[in-house]
Amino acid sequence: MKLIHFCFNSQHNRQHHATGGQLDHWSELPELPHHLGLATGGPVLVIVGGASKMEAASLSRLQRVFTEIIAPLAQTLNATVIDGGTDCGVMQLMGQARHEIAGTFPLIGVCAIGTVILPDGSPPPSDEAAELEPHHSHFVLVPGDDWGAESPWLAQLATQFAQGAPHGTLVSNGGEITWQDVHCSVAEQRPTWVFEGSGRTADQLAAALRGEESDPRAEPLVASGYLHRLVLSDDLNSVKTALDAHFTALESLQ
């Protein structure tokens, strides 16, 4: 395992720092939290999906969910939040929300090393490589040159951090890789909420949860019993109530 320090320069010449680790083998995963100086056995929230091709109103609602519900909940519980770490889509919304509320909870981006541009000035590994989101507190680089190679690592890392504490996955929008992310979440027996109204994969899963015709890949995921539906509307109380109930009720039993 290789430890890495990340330094991001903002538009206002302010620097943001993050700690990271580069993994080469699955056997290194259990020791990663210790090497990053992070505790295990606390609440964990996984963020997957995207925000592509969303209507302006839906995107605005999703931004509110992150800033008004997810980030404050993570801060209150000192939860560990884990996502894909790049400066786009829901990962960008999560990083910006943590920054906006001056959050101190761990926000970990898990990225396949061949898909991201590191802030150390090294050349991009490919033309499709993405920048890292600068407001994450930690990054974990895992083997792989293709988008989606990080999915099983992300899912199992979340389980490693939770150690039996309350954990859950939130799914918004998303494309092909999101199907893989949801499959990995269900394989880890993780309660998984999909945002109906965010589009694409999340809406296909929500339709299947309603018993409507959908992508055949949704059938075994719904049958697992781990999928739940959250409606993305102007009234976000139902979203807050569902997440509060899951995390605070289970937290009180620990």
pLDDT at 248: 81
Class at the top of the CATH hierarchy for domain 17-24+39-253:
alpha beta
pLDDT at 65: 96
**d(C-alpha 179, C-alpha 196), whole Å:** 15
Other Cβ atoms less than 10 A from the Cβ of 60: the count is 12
pLDDT at 254: 47
pLDDT at 9: 81
**Helical H runs in the chain?**
32-36, 56-64, 71-77, 89-100, 151-162, 176-187, 200-209, 218-223, 237-253
Structure tokens at 58: 């839906």
Per-residue pLDDT of the chain (254 residues; tens, 9 = 90+): 899 999 998 765 678 899 999 999 999 999 999 999 999 999 999 999 998 888 888 999 999 999 999 999 999 999 999 999 999 999 999 999 999 999 999 999 999 999 999 998 889 999 999 999 999 999 999 999 999 999 999 999 999 999 999 999 999 999 999 999 999 999 999 999 999 999 999 999 999 999 999 999 999 999 999 999 999 988 899 999 999 999 886 544 44
Other Cβ atoms less than 10 A from the Cβ of 158: the count is 24
* Location of structure tokens 């719904």: 222
- How far, in Å, are 177, 216, 221, 248 from residue 213 at the CA level? 21, 8, 14, 34
* Location of structure tokens 């539906």: 229
- Which pTM value belongs to this model? 0.95
pLDDT at 14: 75
Structure tokens at 66: 């992150």
Enumerate the domain spans of the chain. 17-24+39-253
Structure tokens at 67: 């800033």
What SS3 class is residue 17? strand
